[in-house]
A and B are shown apart, each in its own frame.
Chain A
Amino acid sequence: MAKIELIDIKKQYGDTKIVKGVTFTVEDGEFAVVVGPSGCGKSTLLRMIAGLEDITSGELRIDGKVANQVSPDKRGIAMVFQSYALYPHLTVAENIGFALTLKKHDKAEVAQRVKEAAKMLQLEDLLQRKPAELSGGQRQRVAIGRAIVKRPKVILFDEPLSNLDAKLRVQMRAELQRLHKEFGSTIVYVTHDQVEAMTMAEKIVVLNQGHISQLGKPMDLYQQPQNTFVAEFIGIPKMNLLDGEIQKNETNMFVCSNGLRIPLAANYQWTGKGIKLGIRPEHIDLADNDQWQYDVKIIERLGIETYLHLQRGKEDVIVVRLEGDHDLDIDKVSLHFPSELCRLFNEEGQVLLPNVI
């Protein structure tokens, strides 16, 4: 098993910088997810770890050894591709055993290992089929089988679930977690879907425009986003961000936004002008008073929860999530923003941390 260290990794094609200095470590046996919008450099990063693309500068260590120049097949890795890359002219068994046959393993041993992998993935009945005869989920499992049969130290996943329908995706998320527990390989998993990152990762690396935006455990990212990018990227529906400013009187600090005035629980070191107030939809409560009334634009009732889309004047829409079903027949509501759940960001989008009192 292996630990992967990336130290100031950069990638550049001509003058275009794709990855602009990325440093992080994936511990031995850890499930790390690199997540970000398309074009953020996450796939390039993965392909550099695989050795499919050169590293322009920086150092990549696998198991403590510098691996920048090591050819892909000597890195002890396996990779599951977005298109699965199953060879259409080979059967499932031949696909899974492909890497082993290349290395001229003993036939009986190949068969044995293919069988083990197939058993683990419940593919035993399909071994003689061709990929074209399989469903999307089955193909996905064959692709994983082809990776684990090599008993790699590291498995790399490149958006493996993006070709599956929503229901299968939920199933495969659980499946991947089970396999990770059984198998214990280090996993680097790339996706644009923050739900996959939140549900599976032990460590999330949020990548934006070639930089790491934030790095950490899923719940840390959710609760303590370090910038507006992460705040909006993680969580559905996304965090509400309101423009505002901070006001002080003798005893208290307030955050004010379009007439809204929320007393703050803590002190903030802050100079500058504008500010963004971030609050998650589920953290906003309806208030009984008629201060700060909002027009109700849309109500979405899902049974288990209800979303209100609210607006006041020309301000951005605020989304509020209410627990359970609410058959509301109202066109105005007042809101209460619990100040301890508000996050403040400066104009550059960086989080403002409260001074410890």
Chain B
Amino acid sequence: MQLTYERRKQLTYRFMMTPALLLMFIFIVFPAFYAFSLSLTNEALLGFAAKESSFVGLSNFERLFADPLFWNSLKVTLLFVIGSAVIGQFLLGFLSAVLLLRPIRFKAMFNAMICLPNAVPEMVVGFLWISMYASGEYGTLNRIVAWFGVDPQQWLYSFPLMAIIIVNTWRGVAFAMILLTSGLSSIPKDIYEAARVDGASDRQIFWRITIPMLMPTIFLYMFVSTVTTFAIFGLVYTLSRGGPANSTEILGIYIYNQSFTAFQLGYGASVAVVSLVVSMLIGVFYVRMFKVEV
């Protein structure tokens, strides 16, 4: 029988969807589920278990929840996400967005400068900041603080977590700024004018109009930046590899170190499961909470 136009289209759509689905399935979806099953084994790269791994039930998770290094990693990740994505990037990005919407000169130049860090590959970010944080009196940051009478510091050893938070903040200001700028400029001018006519002060306008109307954009920003920061690996790995003494060992690095430095694949997979579950929960929460339009 000859296919009608509508029927033919439906078949074409399925056919067109296949290659992308296949690729995502093989490299993302299947591995994600496979992580669950691996986490129930004692799979390893070295030693007895490397030859023949066996099912060990939930013992990886028992070990995990008793492992202070895991809790440390979770804490470090949380502080890293809150410090850089939720506070640092957001505040500086919001400030830049508000200021750059004012009638000022050199707007394009400020804009370009703030955006530049966002375009830099992770590895180069690490490279640049290692020089910034270099110890000794010739280190760039040490020279800057010397103007304020501060003695040279070993930044990556004395303040490791703060150091990576500052780097990630540096990298993400632009994203927050761009997103919030578009949110701010999509608030209709009429509303501000109406509020002025009603006699609202600048402060009242900011808290009662700008912030509530910007809420959807702020939530979108928080969601995207939280999940991206949660998934960071290369930036911290090139800067500190999780050290010194696990003080910057965010989850991604903890997984890598457990799997490919300690060669305990099963245990690494159980950490991966925790990380997957957390990010899926954030995703589902966001989608449900804000009724994402698709």
Chains A and B directly touch (beta carbon < 8 Å): yes
List chain A positions with a Cβ less than 8 A from chain B.
Answer: 51-54, 68-69, 71-72
Complex Cα spacing A38 to B1, Å? 35
Across the interface, do A69 and B2 meet the contact criterion of CB distance under 8 Å?
yes
A53 touches B2 (CB 8 A): no
Chain B residues within an 8 Å CB radius of A53? 5-6
Closest CB-CB distance, A50 to chain B, in whole Å?
A: 9
Could you list which residues of chain B lie within 8 angstroms of chain A, going by C-beta atoms?
Answer: 1-2, 4-7
Q: In the complex, A71 Cα to B4 Cα: how many Å?
A: 6
Q: Which residue of B lies closest to A55 (CB)?
A: B4
Contact (Cβ within 8 A) B6 A54:
yes
A-B CB contact pairs (8 Å), 17 listed:
A51-B4, A51-B5, A52-B5, A52-B6, A53-B5, A53-B6, A54-B4, A54-B5, A54-B6, A54-B7, A69-B1, A69-B2, A69-B4, A71-B2, A71-B4, A71-B5, A72-B5
In the bound complex, residues from chain A placing their C-beta under 8 Å from that of B5 are: 51-54, 71-72
Closest-CB distance, A326 to chain B (whole angstroms): 39
How long is the Cα–Cα vector from A71 to B6 in the complex, in angstroms?
9
B1 contacts across to A, CB distance below 8 A: 69
The 8 closest A-B pairs by CB, nearest first: A54-B6, A54-B4, A53-B6, A72-B5, A51-B5, A71-B5, A69-B2, A69-B4
Report chain B residues within 8 Å CB of A72: 5
- With a cutoff of 8 Å between Cβ atoms, the chain B residues found around residue A52 in the complex are 5-6
Separation in Å of the A172 CB from the closest CB of chain B? Answer: 29
- How distant is B11 from chain A, measured CB to nearest CB, in Å? 13
In whole angstroms, what is the CA distance A72 to B8 when docked? 12
The residue in chain A whose Cβ has the minimal distance to the Cβ of B4 is: A54
What separation, in Å, do the CA atoms of A72 and B2 have in the docked complex?
Answer: 13
Minimum CB–CB distance from A247 to chain B (whole Å) comes to: 56
For A68, list chain B residues within 8 Å (CB): 4
Which residue of chain A has the shortest Cβ distance to B9 in the bound complex? A52
Distance of B10 from chain A, by nearest CB (Å):
10
Residue of chain B at shortest CB distance from A54: B6
- Residues from chain A with a CB closer than 8 A to the CB of B4 are 51, 54, 68-69, 71
Tell me the nearest residue of chain B to A52, going by C-beta. Answer: B5
| A336 CB to nearest B CB, Å | 49
Q: Which of B1, B2, B5 has the most CB of A within 10 A?
A: B5
Nearest chain B CB to A68 CB, angstrom units: 8
Return the chain A residue nearest B10 by Cβ.
Answer: A54
Tell me, in angstroms, the Cα distance from A173 to B7 when the chains sit together: 36
Bound-state Cα–Cα, A71 to B2, Å: 9
CA gap between A72 and B9 in the complex, in Å: 13
Q: For the complex, give the distance between the alpha carbons of A69 and B5 in Å.
A: 9
State in angstroms the CA–CA spacing of A195 and B1 once bound together.
43
